[in-house]
Every structure is written in C-alpha cells, then in structure tokens.
A and B are shown apart, each in its own frame.
Chain A
Amino acid sequence: MTASRVDLRMAPRILLGLLGLAVVAWMANKASQDGRLFWVVTLNGITLAALFFVVAAGFTLIFGLMRVVNMAHGSLYLLAGYIAFTLQGNWYGVSSNLLSSTPATVTSWIVPLVVATIAIGLGGVLMQQVFLRWNQGQDLRQALITIAISVILADQMVAHFGGIAEAIQPPAAWPQSVSLLGVHYGYFRLVIVVGAAVAIGALLFLAIKRTRFGMIIRAGVDDRSMVSALGVNIQLVFAGAFLIGALLAGLAGVLGGTMLAVQPGNDSAFLLDSLIVVIIGGMGSLGGAAIGSLALGLVSSYANVYLAFGTTDLTNYSILVTFILVVAMLAVRPLGLFGRPA
C-alpha cells in the first residue's frame, strides 16, 4: 500500500470532518443569534428522537437476534395508533372533534394504550409463528414476506379507518406545557414521550445486561445454534424477542398517534425512520439505536429550520440532509456505528 493510497482513503473522512466542523460553526452562529429558537428546535429534535428510539429499538432487537428485517414494523406502528384511536372513541366517546368530544381522562388514554400495545404484540408473535418461523435463516425471503404483509395491512387500514388524519387525545388533566430553561414546551412531547423512551431504554438495557433472558438473547445474537445446543428453547426466545419488538412498535404507535397524528403513510414514514436509525447506529445494537435516533431527530429538526442562508430558503430540501447523513455514515462505516457483520 503506497503513501498516496493511504491519503486517498483518508480523504472522505477529512472532508466529512471539515463538513462537520462547518455545520457546527453554522449552528453555533445561529444559536448565538436566537437562543430561544435554537432551544425549541433542539427540544423538537430530542422529542422526535425519543419517538424514533421506541420504534427503532423494537426493529433492531428483532433483527439483532433473529436476522429478520421486519418490513411490517411501520404497519404495526400505525395499526396500534388506529386501534387505540378507535377504542378511545368507542369505549369513552373521545374523538378528534374537540367540540363534540368528551375530554379524555387518564384512564381513557391509558386503557386504549395498553390494549392496543398488547394486541399488536400478540399480532406480531402470530405473524412470526405463522409466516417466519419455518423459513428461519432465509433473511431475504423473510423480508419479502413482511413486505407482503405490510402491503396488505396498509390497504386494509385505508379500507377500515379511512384516509383522514386523526389524533389520539391525551388526558385533559395533564398540563398543556412545561417551562424549561425559559421556554414553554409541550408537556406530552417532553415529559411523557421522552420519559417513556428513557424508561424503555433503561429497562431494555438492564434486561439485556442483567437478566437470564437477556443473557440468552446476547448469546443468541452471537451464535444461535450453540445456544440451542446448550438446551435453550431458542424458538421460545425468538417468539419472546418478537413479542417485545412488536410491543414496542405498538407502544410507539400510540405515543406517536397522540404526539403527532394517525394517518395513512405513517407506516412507510416510520419504517424509513427505523431504517435510517439502524443504518446509522448499526443493526441489532440498542446503543446504536439511541445514537441513531438522536442523530436523525436532531439533524432533521435543525435542517427544517436552519437550512436558510440569507434570503435563499432551502428548508424544502431538508430531506437531502438526512440523505447526506446516511451517505456520510455508510462512507465511513458500512455497517453503522455499532454494527457487526452478520
């Protein structure tokens, strides 16, 4: 390997480093001009990242253990939102129309959340047992199967729930906003969603590092056949992992349905977000999912506001920044930050 060749290999990294520095300088400049706006945009990014993390944690967990890329993950997310929304309306008379609706209480938010999450968890296990269990190891075929399921689910959801954007109502007793470092910010987004994400991250971390189930999962990620040779019922572990992954998709669906909206197209949007998060963080890594979510949430949030130079407003092009983020990551680390070869 000659010296010039080494230099060429370093070139993308140096370029990226310079680009990163320029971006940081630009952001610092913007922050010094309007600190409040910068803080709000940052909070937007963090709350989005929290939601992305809950979705992507389930996605990456299923992949890490079973090598199944669950392309129906976004559909599970959206279906949970629709189930919770329908239950809130049918059981408690809460609807998106605030004029005719009874105000939501803590019960009429929590019960649909729990029921929808459990229903999606069980649905996910059913999907795994019926369609994926018998072709273990054929990862491409499993991806195609889950794509087929997502196509059917997307169409059926349009048929049953219509094409209008709905929203799950948070309990009216909760405050509208909280004050943090001088700005008022949405209580639900900041306290509930971020709290849920942190709690789930901590629980998953402890479960994976400290419990026997987590030990088996970590061993299974490294060597499935060895684990099953040691007498562990690996099929049960797979079903358990799929259950947790689907539960997380369901929980995220209700959180997202309350924080943003429940509407057709959310399934592909959150599938894309999960994909980007795990491409950045590395498939199968919980820490990677956390960092990937933060990167995606912050970058898309900043790009939506700060991609304006003087009078040229480029915020319409903000999706390209996400693209550049993915490209930059793949150029430096093809398997993501914490990814390992399958």
Chain B
Amino acid sequence: MSTAPSAIAGPGPTRRGIRLPQWVALGVLALFLVGAPSFVDSFTLSQILTKALWLGIAAASLIFLSSYGGMISLGQTGIYAVAGFTMANLVHAAGGKNLGWDPVAGTAAGIAVATLFGVLCGAIASRSYGIYFLMITLAISVIVFYFFAQVTTLSGYGGIRSVTPPALIGNPVANPLPLYYAAVVASVLVYGGIRYLARTPFGLALQGIRDDPARMQALGFNVALHRTLAFGVGAFIASIAGILSVWYTTQVSPGGINLAQTINILIIAVVGGLYRLEGAWIGAAVFATIDNYSRVWMPNVGDWLGPSRFETVIGVIFLVIVLASPGGLVGIWESLWDRRTRRLAPILAPGIPAMEVVDDAVDHTAAV
C-alpha cells in the first residue's frame, strides 16, 4: 500500500443484508448493553464498559478512515485532545481558562473546533498516502501534545480538573449510569452513522479513492477534497470520544494525550481489526479488560513483568496480532467463520453467491 492500494483481493464472504445469526447476535448485544447495569457492578460498568465504549469511538474514527478511506491516521488522539481541551477550557473547571460556559454549549464548541482542526489537518495530509500519511498524522498528534504540555494557560498546571459535565450526565464518579448510557447511545449513533455514510455518494467515492486514487482523479473526482472531508468526518467522530473521555475522567491533561495514548488507540484498532468497524469496540473491550486486570493479577517476573507493566503486556499482544493476523481479532474470527461456511456452503446457501455489497471493507485485510 505504498502508493496506490491494490484493488479488491479476491472474494470475501457475501453480506447482502443481515442474516439470521447476525440478527441473533445483534439482539444479544443490545440486551447486554441495555441490561448491563443491572448485573454488572458499578466498578466494572465504569472501568470496563464505559471506558471500552469511548475508546471504541476513538478507534472507530481511525478504522473509518482506514477501512473506507485507506488512510491510517495516528492523528485521532491529537484531534480528540483538541475537543477535550477546548470544552474543558470553556466550562467551569479547576485550572485552564474556566470561562464558565454552559456545558452543552462548551461541548458543541469543542466538537466544532476539533472538527475544523481536523479539516485543516486533512488538508495538510490529504495529498500524502500510506506510510507518509501515517507519519504526518503522527507528527500532528505529537505536536498537539507538546502544544498543550507547553501552553499551561490552556492546560492548567498538570491538567484541568473537575470539568463540569452537562446536568444530564451528572457526576460520573457518584453515578456512572448516565454516562454509560450516553456512551452507548454515542457508540450506536457513530456505528450507524458510519455505515450510513458508506452508502452515500460521498462514501462510495471515498471507497473508490481508497482503491484507486488516480482513476478517481481521472473520472473527475476531487481526490484531495474528498480525503480532506473524510478526515474531517473522522475528526468529528474522534472529538465525540474526546468529550466522553473528559466526562469519564472529569479531567484532561497533557499526560492523557501523549504518544503512548496515540499508540494505544492504534493498538485498539489493530487488535480489533483495522478493516472492520466492529473491531473498534471489540479491541477497546479487550484493551480495557487487560488494562484493568493485568494491574491486579500480573505476577512479578524480575523487572520484566509485573502489575505495573501493562504497556509491555499490551505491546506484546499488539506485536503478536500484527505478526499473526493483519485483520485483528475480527479477522481471526472471520477466517474461522469462512472456513466453516465454505465447508457448509452447499448446505446453507445453495445457488449462486450474491454480489459483493459495496460497503464491505473486509477485502482490504490483504492490503496491510
């Protein structure tokens, strides 16, 4: 994928509409998400589920860009940091500008500023592809980190604390339930929104550009503009995650948006599956679970391993996934599922297989 991503790489599983097993899975998932507060204690709800949901949205913005736009962006952390810091400076908080805006207005302004910043970054990076794009967006994220680390009038000394969330969310430490449901609703909207966008003319053109930018240019599409706008959409999604993350921790600090966090979002996306939207939340759930429990259960092995060596654990998992399965956990699941369905294909679906549905991005596992 150095210059032009290769075209479709052979037949993937056919996905016209939603099949029965998927309806069942969706139903179970919906029941689980709605009912989780009644059978999960509030610590797990907050530390794993809510965290996985907002991290999932951040990773989804990356996966949206990579699976539909062919752009692997490391800039998402920088963008959600802009959203979080903008909001935290505008509302009542300890540290920062503390301008005392209404939290809802502050949130809207945060998302708007971050989206605009994203469009600007997109305009800078849109003429670069593949590994160059990765490097430029990485530079954007790291520069945003250094900016907030240096400019203490905007980031407080060591962060902005006690950021006021809207009344609807209340205090997430005392009552994690409203924030959990907000994260569920946001995740569903983001997921549905991306799937919808992929079927619009804009989304179709974007996928065309992913597969062959030169040909789309020749067909009269403004490739740079499409990629810039797609980056703006990704920035919008990332900024939602940024807002949720500030509500979740009630604070925002440069330490939370450093290179490690930039890479954590990438790890979540890659572990889940860089080319399937669902992978964002799967990767985030795995990440939050390991993050939480490795700090409790990890035995000490010299200086090499121990409860505080979470980054080593997640790094090794990341390495194994990248080496073994470019499609991440979703990729492993799908190759197992494919093998099963291929064996059972004559029984399950007699007749000619349906045409590939356009928004199907699974074929690009071959491109990494």
Contact = CB atoms under 8 A, between A and B. Distances in A.
Interface string B246-290: 000000000000111001001100100000000000000000000
Interface residues of B, number: 50
B312 A145 contact: no
User: Is chain B's binding surface mostly helix, strand, loop or mixed?
Assistant: helix
A165 to B, nearest CB: 16
A278 B72 CA distance: 19
A152 B319 CA distance: 9
Interface in B311-342: 311-312, 314-316, 318-319, 322-323, 326
A1 interface: no
Contact of A152 (B150, B308, B316): B316
B309 interface: yes
A141 B135 contact: no
A342 B132 CA distance: 10
B3 interface: yes
B303 interface: yes
A187 interface: no
A156 B309 CA distance: 8
B135 A331 contact: no
A335 B316 CA distance: 33
A159 B309 contact: yes
A140 B131 contact: yes
Interface residues of A, number: 44
A264 to B, nearest CB: 10
A268 B135 contact: no
A276 B266 CA distance: 20
Given A155-B315, A317-B150, A320-B147, A69 B131 contact: yes
B368 A141 contact: yes
A154 B311 contact: yes
Contacts of B146: 319
A189 interface: no
Given A144-B270, A144-B322, A139 B2 contact: yes
A128 B259 CA distance: 23
A155 B312 contact: yes
A148 B308 CA distance: 18
B304 A147 contact: no
Contacts of B303: 156, 159-160
A275 B150 contact: no
Contacts of B306: 159
Contacts of B1: 139-140
A341 interface: yes
Contacts of B298: none
A272 B147 contact: no
A268 B258 contact: yes
Contact of A316 (B124, B151, B326): B151
A138 interface: yes
Interface of B: 1-3, 72, 124-125, 127-128, 130-132, 134-136, 138-140, 142-143, 146-147, 150-153, 258-260, 263, 266-267, 270, 303-304, 306, 308-312, 314-316, 318-319, 322-323, 326, 367-368
Given A272-B259, A320-B143, 4 more contacts: A140-B134, A145-B322, A152-B312, A330-B136
20 contacts: A138-B368, A139-B131, A140-B1, A141-B322, A148-B267, A152-B319, A154-B311, A155-B311, A156-B303, A159-B303, A159-B306, A159-B308, A160-B303, A272-B143, A276-B139, A279-B136, A318-B150, A326-B124, A330-B127, A341-B3
